[in-house]
Amino acid sequence: MNINGISALVTGAASGLGATTASALAERGAQVLGLDLAASIERAGTAPANVRYVAADVTSEEQVSHALTMITDAPLRLVVNCAGIAPARRILSSRGPHDLATFQRTIDINLVGTFNVLRLAAEVIAKTEPDEGGQRGLIVNTASVAAYEGQIGQIAYAASKGGVVAMTIAAARDLARYGIRVDTIAPGILDTPMLSSLGEEVNASLAATVPFPHRLGRPAEYAQLVMMLAEHDYINGETVRLDGALRMAPQ
């Protein structure tokens, strides 16, 4: 897939991995529609060139469907699902059992929200003209290494990201008849604003657990992998770990 001249949709586009990916795709010539919550867009301020912010909740069928109607400049070929939350709570603690509402909200945003965007965007992509190889587009979802090695306190997050990983091959097989590929990226410890807020000492200790390169991952490396997956037409139904060979310890 040639990124230049296509339309791309990025969720969670006003901060973190989504913001970096939206900017990188725009720099490569894509017209990017960036979805995020209104408050996040307000904090982000002015969107980068060729990125248009639209306030939308990924769990809302109506809001996502409306956002997709705004893609008119070029065919939608690439979707990147970055929206998500990462609460920390043990199943049992001094506060009692894990509250059900937090677990349900995490599943709703990280897993159901990803599926909601995937299914609605796939319908739009399926109506476009295929390229000479029969390809119409690519949907990239974001999981986490927590899908495989969830740490203490990550039960809700690990369950939601495990669901994203499990959807990957099924979605790729479902959408193969339409020439739509589906891949997932499972990041390890990336240097996002959320992680930076923990402080330099915590970041240094986290970086020390990464075998090689012996540092935190960079959001730009996530965006680079998105573009590599877009340009490599034979990678389909795959979950790629972006973690420097990290295998998470219990805590």
Mean pLDDT of the chain: 94
Domain count, the chain: 1
87 lies in some domain = yes
State percent of the chain over pLDDT 90.
Answer: 87
pLDDT higher at 200 or 112: 112
pLDDT of 199 reads: 66
Does residue 185 sit within a domain?
A: yes
The Cα–Cα gap between 117 and 65 comes to 9
**Inside any domain, residue 251:** no
Q: How many residues does the chain have?
A: 251
Task: Tell me the average pLDDT across 184-195.
Answer: 87
Give per-residue pLDDT as tens, 59-76: 999 999 999 999 998 999
Q: What percent of the chain has pLDDT over 70?
A: 97
Asked whether residue 214 is assigned to any structural domain, the reply reads: no
- Identify the residue whose tokens are 């994203």: 164
For residue 157, indicate whether it is catalytic: yes
Among left, alpha and beta (phi > 0; psi -120 to 50; other), residue 42 is alpha
Tell me if 210 is assigned to some domain. no
pLDDT in tens, 8-46: 999 999 999 999 999 999 999 999 999 999 999 999 999
What is the rounded distance in angstroms from the CA atom of residue 68 to the CA atom of residue 246? 37
pLDDT tens, position by position, 146-178: 999 988 999 999 999 999 999 999 999 999 999
10 Å Cβ neighbour count for 223?
Answer: 24
Q: Are 214 and 116 in contact (CB under 8 A)?
A: no
- CATH number of the domain at 81, please: 3.40.50.720
- Domain that includes residue 76, residue range: 7-190+219-241
Can you point out the beta strands (E) in the chain? 7-11, 31-36, 51-55, 76-81, 92-93, 96-97, 137-142, 180-187, 239-242
Measured CA to CA, the distance from residue 249 to residue 251 in angstroms comes to 5
Burial of residue 251 (number of CB atoms within 10 Å: 0-12, 13-18, 19+): exposed
Higher per-residue confidence, 154 vs 199? 154
Q: What is the pLDDT of residue 191?
A: 86
Question: Greatest CA span in the chain, whole angstroms?
Answer: 60
The residue from 53, 148, 157, 222 that is catalytic is: 157
Distance CA 21, CA 206 (A): 23
CA–CA separation, 103 vs 90, rounded Å? 11
Average pLDDT (80-86) is 96
Report if residue 102 sits inside a domain.
yes
Q: pTM, whole model, 2 decimals? A: 0.95
Q: Is residue 85 one of the residues assigned to a domain?
A: yes
207 inside domain:
no
